[in-house]
Amino acid sequence: EAGVTQSPTHLIKTRGQQATLRCSPISGHTSVYWYQQALGLGLQFLLWYDEGEERNRGNFPPRFSGRQFPNYSSELNVNALELEDSALYLCASSNRAEAFFGQGTRLTVV
Amino acid sequence: AQSVAQPEDQVNVAEGNPLTVKCTYSVSGNPYLFWYVQYPNRGLQFLLKYITGDNLVKGSYGFEAEFNKSQTSFHLKKPSALVSDSALYFCAVRVPFSGGYNKLIFGAGTRLAVHP
C-alpha cells in the first residue's frame, strides 16, 4: 500500500512568488493535515481538510490557503512568498484513527 | 483548552542506558495518544499509539510508552538507547472536534541525543 506522497520534494522560489505544494493521502483516508516546520523545530498547524471541506485553520495569514479535491488529495498554496516561509511543509493523512506523514516539501524562498 | 505538552526540549542519554521522553496531555474524555519520530530532513514516522486496553504499549524499534490516566501522561521509553535513536520525537493526541470529527494536536517535540 502506498504511503502519503508529497510533491515536489524541494522547491525554490523568489520572494513575492507563489508556491503550490501537493499531497496524496493513503488510499481510503479522507483527512489531510498540513504543517509547517521551520529550522527543524516544532510542528505549526496550518490547515486541516476532511471530505473536501476545510475543518480548521492554524494561526497563519490568509496568503496560506489550500483545498482538497474529490479524490482527497490536497494542495497548499502560499502567495506572496516571504523569506520566513522557508521551511519543511509536512502533510499527514488520517483515517480519523491515526495519522501518517509524507516526507515533506522543503520550500526555500530566496 | 485541549493540549499536549512535552516539557523537555532535549534529552541526553548515554548509549545503552534507558531513555524516557515525557509527554503530558489535557483532553476531555478518553484520549487517543500517539508518538512519532522524525529523523533529519524526513517526515514523521508513526511509532506507537494508545487507544484502550493495556497501559503499556509496545511500538516500533523497541520503543514502548506507558499511559497513566491519573497523571495524564504518556511517556515514551526504551530500555537501552542506541545512537541511531537520536532524532526528534513528537507526542500527539486526538481530540474531538465539531461536526463529529477528530483533530490531531501535536506537542512541540523533544530532541533525543544518544551519545556513544
**pLDDT tens figures, A68-103:** 999 999 999 999 999 999 999 999 998 867 788 999
Please tell me if residue B88 touches chain A, with a CB cutoff of 8 Å: yes
Please tell me if residue A57 touches chain B, with a CB cutoff of 8 Å: no
Q: CB-CB: which of A33, A56, A98 is closest to B46?
A: A98
* Chain B contact probe: residue of A48, A93, A101 with most B CBs at under 10 A: A101
Q: What is the pLDDT of residue A94?
A: 86
Cβ of B46 within 8 Å of Cβ of A40? The answer is no
Cβ of A42 within 8 Å of Cβ of B106? The answer is yes
Q: How many CB atoms lie within 10 A of CB A110?
A: 10
pLDDT band at B25 (very low <50, low <70, confident <90, very high): very high
Burial B12-43 (b: 16+ CB within 10 A, else e): ebeeeeebebbbbbebeeebbbbbbbbeeebb
Residue of A nearest to B40 (CA): A40
